[in-house]
Structure 1
Amino acid sequence: MSTRIEDYALIGDCETAALVGRDGSIDWLCLPRFDSPACLASLLGDETNGRWKIAPADDAAKSQRAYRDDTLILETTFETPTGIAVLRDFMPLRDGSSNIIRIVEGIQGTVAFDFEFMARFDYGQTVPWMAFEEEGIVTAIAGPDMLILHSDVPLGGNDARVIAGFTVGKGDRLTFALTFCSSYMPRPKPVDPEAALLETERFWREFTARCPDVDGWAGPVKRSLITLKALTYMPTGGIVAAVTTSLPEKLGGTRNWDYRYCWLRDATLTLLALMKLGYYEEASAWRNWLLRAVAGAPEQMQIMYGVAGERNLREWDASWLPGYEGSKPVRIGNAASEQFQLDVYGEVADALMQASKGGLPRHPRGQAIGDVLMPFLERVWRDPDEGIWEVRGARQHFTYSKVMAWVAFDRVALMAQDLGDDDTARRWREVADEIHAEVCAKAFDPALNSFVQAYGSQALDASVLQIGMVGFLPPDDPRYVGTVEAIERHLTRDGFVLRYRTGDTDDGLPSDEGVFLACSFWLADALDLVGRRDDARALFERLLALSNDVGLLSEEYDPVAKRMLGNFPQAFSHIGVINTALNLSRRKGPAEERSDANPAVSVELGA
């Protein structure tokens, strides 16, 4: 049986990442970038698709794990009848090459360990040539890629796998290092594992030391902040949605997507999370990535890009992989990048305004993007689109898409007004008012007393919770209060929120996915917004309790099977942790903070 999603932990070097199971097996690793082909891919198959396992020889060994305080250094403690040992896993920031370091230390008695390394390049497909060089050094080569394994113990085996056995006693420390490089270039200098451990610990503790205490939620906020940093591609500032592809929204299902890319939709909430915690350097890097990615004609703007802003994210099927617990297909790339989603224009506009309000220095391209973005949006806001949930069907007039178009025009009008540009303010306010009137007339269902997913629909959709968050309606408007109550009554399982309501099942709820954690955080925000603070805090605490033992969250959760679902760890979920904690800790509501104009700053959106 596959390792459960929640039984994995994350290590990374801010350019790529790996997933480590409770059993000491690294089952997912893409090199040299988040979106590169995996060289360890048993996560989506079995051990023959690549893994690196260091674990006690006694299969009955007990394990307990935690991150070293305020770091991304994973420590797994194994206990056997004969002794106790700790396995430390981490990835140091790069100095010319990517490395995974594993250190085994004996704590008490003696513990016998088994070592197995099976490299498979090209997403678990290609068996490399293994060369056993001097004692403790093995290279794995396939085409342009090379892995170099340095070990403090002798290694044996063949092309299929590298094996070893060793025993540690109290005070013993054995180190293992895996280095990735190009097969046709000079080999990088071997990393010093002990020095790398100290430097990695210093980096993460200096990073987290800047994080303020958030109303008693410092632990989950810091862990979520560390996770967002780990999901950041440091050379560009882009933040991937997750480090995995094709972890299913339903076990055995087909809704398996590649999330190793950067979504524009995450822009505003990510910026707010980083700036409110005082991480302006990271916020600026994300804003700069955003501006580079969207550069060009506005009609060519995509909803997602590669970590360096790549546009070609062609989707294909890695047919040789059986998928996580048989969930096929295994998709590489994401065809949703070719969809038209109207809301992203509002997200970009809002993100640029939030960056300006938050005090980030003006970007020289901000004004130019605004000059072409707003007139284009004026022409296309009436068109149907694929919507926030990237439905692979006919386009519709999705409510959230229209609301976010309103956000763009509303923000520009407010800022122009405060800067004394009355003509620009009047022009964009007229468009905003037109959108507002249409949404209120066509997207609100009096019988449900709620806004619905799309014009003419009776389906509920969690995205309309944002109507109050972005200031489209005041939180005490009966239509918004009714929407919150309708979603709470009809769009929840075990108190957690699904993305939308369909007619697929007897209860009208979708049968092919779990509850969506980001939407559940939105409900907590909405409950707080409408004055139900105790209910909001209770839901927030229940959501935090869904985190695994090292504080990580996936995209979705199955409240019946009590299992995580979807790609992991999920940036959107951890952004929810940070922003909801902030919302519950401050006096001013999220709608006020996102829509208040500040005349002291300049506008990066043009007429």
Structure 2
Amino acid sequence: MSTLALGVIGNCTIAALIDPAAALVWGCFPRLDGDAVFPALLDGGGADAPAQADGRFALTLIDQSQSEQSYLPNTAILRTVLRDSHGGAVEITDFCPRFALFERIYRPPTIVRRVRPLAGRPRLRIQLRPRFDQGRLAPEITRGSNHIRYVGPAQTLRLTTNAPISYVLEERPFLLDRPVDLLLGDDESLEAGIELTARDLFERTHDHWRNWVRSLSIPFEWQEAVIRAAITLKLCQFEETGAIVAALTTSIPEAPDTERTWDYRFCWLRDAYFVIHALNRLGGTRMMEDYLRFIGDVVEDAADGSLRPVYGITREAALDESVVPHLAGYRGMGPVRIGNQAHLQIQNDVYGAVVLASTHAFFDRRMTRPGDGALFEQLERLGARAVALFDQPDAGPWELRGSAAVHTFPAVMCWAACDRLAKIARRLGRDDRAAHWRGAADRLHGIIRERAWNPEIGSFVSTFDGSEMDATLLLLHEVDFLAADDPRFAATVEAVAKTLRNGDFLFRYVAADDFGRPRTAFVICVFWYIDALAALGRRQEARDLFETVLAHRTPLGLLSEDIDPRSGELWGNFPQTYSMVGLINCAMRLSHPWEEAF
């Protein structure tokens, strides 16, 4: 049975998922949200699919009996060792080239697979079966002396290799008695020999990632987990524009046999604050600045101050959702969706998310493009929208499709927009605007305190004048709406845990929605709970729970969107940016300081 125990490789242009048997089962070209030319993960079988299945790039060791998989330390380079039942073994090294070249980052849409024998007489079968038009079309195939071209209606992929071309085309096993290299990417000829090119790309990419990790500010404890989360977060960035996608996949269901299948290869503005906060803690200044540039371009586009919840990675506003009928789905659990209808929803928290994220530009002196009066005026337009919309119905933070209400979290985020604008204005010496926004923030704060507090429950609740709970209430201190020592915060944390906690994890909410009652926990929610426990001074309890959550990562240290709290199985799109951000934030908050380490 296929699982999400997958390795991720990428270079901030493309990314791919590789299973423990070294089959590449998901990958889009020529960018993160592009055509799924390797859709095997969503074609019903995953690792269990028959050998002749399309939509994969498999390197199969004949009579394989074991596999071992790990990342080269502090890199996005994946190493898989396959062993057969006769004492043979091969090593497969997978990566996407990424390094500095001519004063810019070289990150072509290319996958490099290096294979070398380790022991015995291993026999290898290479099966390269890309598809086009989201897996619907088989390519036209042509060959050259050392390459194979896979021609589709909109793009052509070229495999350049020193493996026997005929054996690759015929998928015929051969004795691996020497190393071979496979380079898959644009239809371009190499400028040097195959082995020399592959080795050079490997060495430069290896050095690049090691140097990138060296620049991070990491905690004393849980360093390996934080480094892997940081690298994974970086792989979810489309560096050309600065956008960060919510995940690298589409349509991995939130729970088995459910229609909760969504396309997450887009950039949600709600995530902006949390991602920026994590990057700031890590010292990932360049990545943070690139992401702020993307957000700034979105704000520039919004002439009337109106924002959508989600944008494409080049700021596409229309992300119309459709179903791909010819793909069966993960483990046959469709539908497979392309696009996301959330782009049409009203989600009022986006105004606060953008203002909170942009606040860093005014206060972080490391920025090469600091915030100025012009940016402040743009953000004021968002603030005006926040004031107008804070008490208006919307789809809420969980993007409910069939209902609308005045949700507490969006209202709080609208308050946060006013609060930060007041602080920015004071920073800029604009006392008149500081007074204006402080007055607006105080007014919103009072209304939210009255309307979102349920005295019968003794807690803040999900909607104005409501009674239901949701996990975003754990963030009331995180965004500075309530002080950590405010008894209302402690009471709300207890109420959320009582209602939403299931084992070691928390549901987003438990009330029925458009698709029934949720059946899996949302991973980021337990990280919010851990942060809340730490803020309340329950530090050891928070540390113990954090260790428990870390034990549920995949063998390669990754997390998806959702988890079954009973079985511990991961569900939902993978790897999930939100989850990796939550891990980073908790580790940075909970780790003992370096000064106390020795």
Q: Same fold (TM over 0.5)?
A: yes
Q: Deviations over 1:339-368 (max 9, x none)?
A: 111111001111111232222232465223
Partners in 2 of 1:585 and 1:418 — Cα distance?
Answer: 32
Mind listing any 5+ residue stretches in structure 1 that lack a counterpart?
588-607
Aligned-residue CA RMSD (Å): 2.2
| Equivalent residues of 2:76, 2:209 under 8 A apart | yes
Shift of 1:425: 2.5
CA 418–143 in structure 1, closer or farther in 2 if over 3 Å, else same: closer
1:142 paired to 2:147:
no
1:318 paired to 2:328:
no
Find the counterpart in structure 1 of residue 201 from structure 2.
196
> Alignment partner of 1:79: what SS?
strand
AA aligned to 1:332 is I
- Work out the number of aligned pairs and report it: 572
Find the counterpart in structure 2 of residue 593 from structure 1.
none
1:499 paired to 2:508:
yes
1:433 paired to 2:442:
yes
Q: Deviations over 1:186-234 (max 9, x none)?
A: 6565761111111110111110011233021111111111111111111
> Alignment partner of 1:11: what SS?
strand
Q: Of the candidates 469, 484, 488, which is equivalent to residue 460 of structure 1?
A: 469
Partners in 1 of 2:513 and 2:15 — Cα distance?
Answer: 37
Percent identity between the two aligned chains: 34
1:103 paired to 2:114:
yes
Mind listing any 5+ residue stretches in structure 2 that lack a counterpart?
99-104, 594-598
| Equivalent residues of 1:275, 1:358 under 8 A apart | no
| Equivalent residues of 2:510, 2:518 under 8 A apart | no
CA 547–510 in structure 1, closer or farther in 2 if over 3 Å, else same: farther
CA 342–106 in structure 1, closer or farther in 2 if over 3 Å, else same: same
Find the counterpart in structure 1 of residue 141 from structure 2.
130
TM-score w.r.t. structure 2 length?
Answer: 0.91
Partners in 1 of 2:274 and 2:118 — Cα distance?
Answer: 43
The correspondence of residues 176-325 of structure 1 with structure 2, limited to 5 A, is: 176-181=182-187, 189=191, 192-295=197-300, 296-325=302-331
> Alignment partner of 2:134: what SS?
helix
Q: Of the candidates 343, 358, 363, which is equivalent to residue 364 of structure 2?
A: 358
Q: Deviations over 1:78-97 (max 9, x none)?
A: 12232222111111138584
Find the counterpart in structure 1 of residue 80 from structure 2.
76
| Equivalent residues of 2:149, 2:159 under 8 A apart | yes
Partners in 1 of 2:224 and 2:531 — Cα distance?
Answer: 20
| Equivalent residues of 1:499, 1:516 under 8 A apart | yes
Structure 1's consecutive aligned runs of 4 or more residues displaced over 6 angstroms after TM superposition are none
Find the counterpart in structure 1 of residue 335 from structure 2.
329
| Equivalent residues of 1:252, 1:325 under 8 A apart | no
| Equivalent residues of 1:342, 1:385 under 8 A apart | yes
Partners in 2 of 1:368 and 1:436 — Cα distance?
Answer: 23
Partners in 1 of 2:107 and 2:15 — Cα distance?
Answer: 16
Shift of 1:41: 0.4
| Equivalent residues of 2:55, 2:129 under 8 A apart | yes
Q: Of the candidates 151, 156, 163, which is equivalent to residue 171 of structure 2?
A: 163
> Alignment partner of 1:300: what SS?
coil
Partners in 2 of 1:415 and 1:155 — Cα distance?
Answer: 62
CA 480–372 in structure 1, closer or farther in 2 if over 3 Å, else same: same
Find the counterpart in structure 1 of residue 102 from structure 2.
none
| Equivalent residues of 2:511, 2:517 under 8 A apart | no
Partners in 2 of 1:358 and 1:218 — Cα distance?
Answer: 25
1:577 paired to 2:583:
yes
> Alignment partner of 2:111: what SS?
strand
Find the counterpart in structure 1 of residue 571 from structure 2.
565
> Alignment partner of 1:124: what SS?
coil
AA aligned to 1:104 is V
Partners in 1 of 2:486 and 2:16 — Cα distance?
Answer: 46
| Equivalent residues of 1:97, 1:188 under 8 A apart | no
AA aligned to 2:437 is W
AA aligned to 1:531 is G
| Equivalent residues of 1:118, 1:162 under 8 A apart | no
Partners in 2 of 1:298 and 1:527 — Cα distance?
Answer: 40
CA 250–533 in structure 1, closer or farther in 2 if over 3 Å, else same: same
Find the counterpart in structure 1 of residue 39 from structure 2.
41
AA aligned to 2:153 is G
AA aligned to 2:479 is V
Partners in 1 of 2:316 and 2:548 — Cα distance?
Answer: 38
1:346 paired to 2:352:
yes
| Equivalent residues of 2:245, 2:268 under 8 A apart | yes
Q: Deviations over 1:9-41 (max 9, x none)?
A: 100121110000001110111000111111110
Partners in 2 of 1:95 and 1:536 — Cα distance?
Answer: 41
Q: Of the candidates 521, 527, 537, which is equivalent to residue 543 of structure 2?
A: 537
TM-score w.r.t. structure 1 length?
Answer: 0.90
Shift of 1:586: 7.7
Q: Of the candidates 1, 9, 27, which is equivalent to residue 29 of structure 1?
A: 27
Q: Of the candidates 137, 154, 164, which is equivalent to residue 154 of structure 1?
A: 164
Partners in 2 of 1:315 and 1:378 — Cα distance?
Answer: 31
Q: Deviations over 1:28-86 (max 9, x none)?
A: 11000111111110110046441010021114x20111000100110011122322221
Find the counterpart in structure 1 of residue 3 from structure 2.
4
